[in-house]
């Protein structure tokens, strides 16, 4: 297949789509355009090894520079796409140039959400965020982290490993509220506190303000915490401005927002696709829709959509999976865990070695594990098949 392809976004979804197109035999031109000046890199290490100074940016590249040359991919970094002209099929860039396309992929990802702009506020999503923050995370330095989801928890753990005095604030009653049922959330609360993190839950932040002693986070109930550095980790918002400006259909923010796509990554506009964090896609097994904000999901969705753009027709029906490294523990979560599900735990929460299945009338809908990755791999297949746990335990020796 020939033609002109433009991919906007040099994260894992965009690079994976390009790789899949070439692997599928697409021999047309490909322009991969990214706002960041960096060679494409892996984001998960940014909140862990990179901010702790254990790895360099060159150690987390998705592909080496030679790969793009070998695959005849024109990599355009440090350039922002400003507008899409769907009628003439062109993309305008911030240097005044434009790129013509037959197929266009939006892999624009998202940006860190930060409702406050006090001088001490930091976010951590890109390599550009690292130098200033890493220089501030010195041993003994007080640090407040707002948000105990995956990124906030990882930042808190990294700061503690660097010797910072960390206060971690969370609106919900327990950390990792979007991923873990209560009993496992309590376990992670215990882990944070055992590692010396001052964890406070049920915190509704009313204001973040600069003062003579640093930046103060004020809660609605009158509590406050002050530090020279306040890292805000309250989620990301999908970057949909290009799609919106081009009249491409978007999902309602109540449903996760993002660009609406079908199971093949196609948007409402002919020839335009979307993949990764920005894509609001059909949810397999359970029905409805979802937007997945995890590295592996973006990688695999980008690969699947790239194959479609190269002429394939296989729907993307993957059960989501993610992981997090905190305080030396590797947490893995797959499926769609829900607080209302029944919980079956095998192993020991106290020893941090377990697999927990979340069941809906006996059917496996989610799995959470520390230290048992093989069990997670098996459970993902069960979730995809709508299997009952009682029917599967006797068949799999790792459970």
Mean pLDDT of 206-216: 95
Q: What is the pLDDT of residue 2?
A: 80
- Percent of the chain surpassing pLDDT 90: 95
pLDDT in tens, 134-193: 999 999 999 999 999 999 999 999 999 999 999 999 999 999 998 899 999 999 999 999
Q: What is the pLDDT of residue 399?
A: 41
End-to-end CA distance of the chain: 45
In CATH, what number does 328-395 get? 3.30.390.30
Sketch the domain layout of the chain as residue ranges: 4-111+237-309, 114-232, 328-395
pLDDT in tens, 360-374: 999 999 999 999 999
CATH topology of 4-111+237-309 equal to that of 328-395?
no
* Strand intervals (E) in 63-132: 73-77, 81-85, 90-93, 98-100, 103-106, 110-112, 121-122
Q: What CATH architecture applies to the domain 4-111+237-309?
A: 3-Layer(bba) Sandwich (3.50)
Q: What region does 163 belong to: left with phi over 0, alpha with psi -120 to 50, or beta?
A: left
Instruction: Give the integer Cα–Cα distance in Å for 108 and 100.
Output: 18
Q: Is 318 exposed, middle or buried (0-12, 13-18, 19+ CB in 10 A)?
A: middle
- The CATH superfamily holding the domain 114-232 is FAD/NAD(P)-binding domain (3.50.50.60)
pTM of this structure: 0.94
- Output DSSP code: residue 78: S
The per-residue b/e assignment along 42-63, b for 16 or more CB within 10 angstroms, e otherwise, is bbbbbbbbbbbeeeeeeebbbb
Q: Are 6 and 33 in contact (CB under 8 A)?
A: yes
- The answer on pLDDT for 293 being more than 90 is yes
């Amino acid at each position: 297949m020939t033609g002109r392809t433009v991919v906007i976004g040099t994260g894992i979804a965009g690079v994976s789509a390009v790789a899949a197109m070439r692997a599928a035999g697409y021999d047309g031109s490909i322009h991969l355009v990214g706002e960041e000046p960096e060679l494409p890199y892996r984001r998960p290490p940014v909140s862990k090894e990179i901010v702790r100074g254990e790895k360099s940016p060159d150690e987390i590249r998705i592909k080496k520079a030679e790969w793009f040359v070998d695959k005849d991919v024109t990599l355009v970094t440090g350039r922002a796409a400003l507008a899409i002209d769907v009628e003439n099929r062109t993309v305008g860039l911030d240097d005044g140039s434009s790129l013509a396309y037959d197929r266009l992929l939006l892999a624009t990802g998202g940006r860190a959400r930060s409702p406050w702009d006090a001088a001490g506020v930091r976010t951590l999503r890109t390599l550009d965020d690292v130098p200033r923050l890493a220089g501030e995370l010195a041993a003994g330095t007080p640090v407040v982290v707002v948000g105990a989801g995956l990124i906030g928890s990882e930042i808190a753990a990294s700061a503690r490993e660097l010797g910072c005095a960390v206060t971690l604030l969370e609106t919900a009653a327990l950390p990792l509220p979007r991923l873990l049922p209560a009993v496992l959330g309590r376990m992670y609360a215990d882990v944070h506190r055992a590692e010396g993190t001052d964890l406070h839950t049920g915190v509704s932040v009313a204001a973040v303000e600069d003062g003579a002693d640093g930046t103060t986070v004020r809660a609605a109930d009158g509590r406050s915490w002050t530090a020279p550095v306040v890292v805000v980790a309250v989620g990301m918002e999908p970057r949909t401005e290009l799609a919106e400006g081009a009249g491409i259909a978007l999902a309602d923010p109540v449903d996760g927002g993002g660009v609406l796509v079908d199971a093949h990554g196609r948007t409402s506009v002919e020839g335009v696709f979307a993949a990764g964090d920005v894509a609001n896609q059909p949810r397999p097994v359970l029905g409805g829709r979802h937007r997945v904000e995890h590295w592996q999901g973006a990688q695999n969705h980008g690969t699947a959509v790239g194959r479609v753009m190269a002429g394939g027709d296989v729907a993307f029906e993957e059960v989501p999976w993610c992981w997090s490294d905190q305080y030396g523990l590797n947490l893995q979560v797959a499926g769609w865990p829900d607080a209302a599900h029944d919980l079956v735990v095998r192993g020991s929460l106290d020893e941090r070695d377990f697999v927990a299945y979340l069941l809906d009338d006996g059917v496996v809908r989610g799995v959470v594990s520390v230290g048992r990755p093989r069990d997670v791999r098996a459970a993902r297949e069960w979730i995809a098949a709508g299997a009952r746990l009682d029917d599967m335990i006797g068949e799999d020796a790792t459970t």
